[in-house]
Structure 1
């Protein structure tokens, strides 16, 4: 990496931290008219963490995409600011200090992934091991003693004084499995069977992988009452299957299976029926006043976004205390109230840029495993953002997922930092020039000196 590239990336990283600190100051000014006393500490903490991440990246992945780390720093920092703002209202569970500690641990996981995993293609050798690990991680919350239920979903497990959502890490393991499996089987899965209208349907004997994945996603929905993870896993597999085979028929089959499964689950399982009921009839007084269930939290979030308008009430000027779980599930609505539609669009644009850089890595990859893994991880992030934003804006039913990098909590934050580390590692391999080009560039720099 040349000095010019290093300087540009470091400058973008510093700019992201400055934006976060400006927002942090805005919260204090909006609440009591003065800059928060702990601003310097938070600024140095966040800046130091990201500088450490940059140094690891510069040493172990020097040719990686220069935008990934600054973009993630920005969205993670905005999440810290909003959690700090919500903490000032006295809501239990909102702690900017704890979230900064989780961010520090996330950066450690990011750095460890880059240091240990020098060649991401080694993951292909562990295809079925990753699949087994993913299934085990999904099962753990269902087991007695260690598994525990919160807010109707059994997705947590106890580790002494701490709790963990193993499903967040299961997603990464299963994407690795999907990538390795589809590389080996893509030629078979791409074969066409009968033609229906203008679509070449796959052979009946090749429907097994889709049906098994669909069955696992339904099992997650039934056993753990986790609609979000169920939808996320099945949608990601269908997207990766399309990337591997370029067959539109797989997408249509996936949609039919999902719609059929959703209708069946809504008829059979009461918790799924309640989700759909709250979505379709959110304005019902009977549902609204069934606090905090029913549609109460959904409508409170929509009221907040509506009151924010185009430009928002201003940082520190909203009422996030009125939104249940404003620091986790509904942090997107809290942002919408204080930053308005403009702020929400800016946040979504940052997510879109992260996904775009991941897909660009997929397109530039030189081997099929990297193409599928980078594409799958990028879609996983994009699909999660769509599901949570669609849920809190009533585009689709609520699922219980959290906004990546922004919502309070540790499991999702750690898993997403590992996801970014994998994208960084793959972008470094995709963007790295041939050895001769690197040697020629080094000789040019020496001659210029």
Structure 2
């Protein structure tokens, strides 16, 4: 019995000698570490003397540019190209840094960045969904001059790039409009450029900052699409294009030449983007897919002419939401309805005919509804724009539900329906 008691005592002493020291340095506690990470991110955000250039890429598509200046009091000043009026009218909001599953940046009072996610007031996208954007973001990576974030709900991408000078900050929005404006100076819908001996057809949408490349490969047409953002006079693709040994990740030094082309540099070589009046390849069945069944398509800008959107000024009509093309509105015609909210008030009636050449030809029959005298010329001009094309329209399918109608006369007039 004595030996057993001595054994227990020795074992107890051994456990006491081996007992782990649970004392933890306060700085090593998980909460303290997380607080330090958040403090470091805040220091980086507020420490940018000249602010941040920013690019938001919603899951619903497009690229939207912002300027941010964060202060120590959790306030942020912002500008945006979502709407022209936001480019020089600074909006102040609050922000917070918070840890959810990952350290996160919250824009927590309603501001420009919320508009793209607002289902009741969509600047782009649809009612009920918005542009599938975000206003709460997790930090993905952070370098000295660049921060990458991802939306916590819709997985939008937000890229912050530190401005290097006040001039760079001040000129940011103007440079975006200048480069986008250069593309609009090309009068035709179809555009071409040659890189590494290969000719590409370009489709450029300056408003959504989208670009696509089409090219011939072994007798078939292949294509690649990407969104882009504009930094200075450079166009940077969010999804670089690779064709064999050629990679196109950006177009640098974009400028317009008065001779009628755009000059840029790709991988150090100068290229020219020129006008073209017909597609490199044409899908003869696209017009039938577009017009064969009753359907409603929306156009926000109406007709573009010589690179100028809304050339017939439909947006000048107060309260107009969009132009709605209702195919098979009646057995004998389509309706191009001027739509206010959910109501079509008036619009041109046009009869479509898809011919064997794969193009659609319209006849302008007249108008429906009571048109205010002040806007009658806008409605009539829109109807005539459909009916005056003697060579019809090419129908270019851009995506599953998006089609562009392009004048087959000279490709200098077009309209997008989605």
* TM-score (ref. length: structure 1): 0.21
Instruction: Please say which structure displays the higher CA radius of gyration.
Output: 2
Higher relative contact order (CA 8 A, sep 6+): 1
Q: From the two aligned structures, give the one with the greater strand fraction.
A: 2
Q: From the two aligned structures, give the one with the greater helix fraction.
A: 1
* TM-score (ref. length: structure 2): 0.22
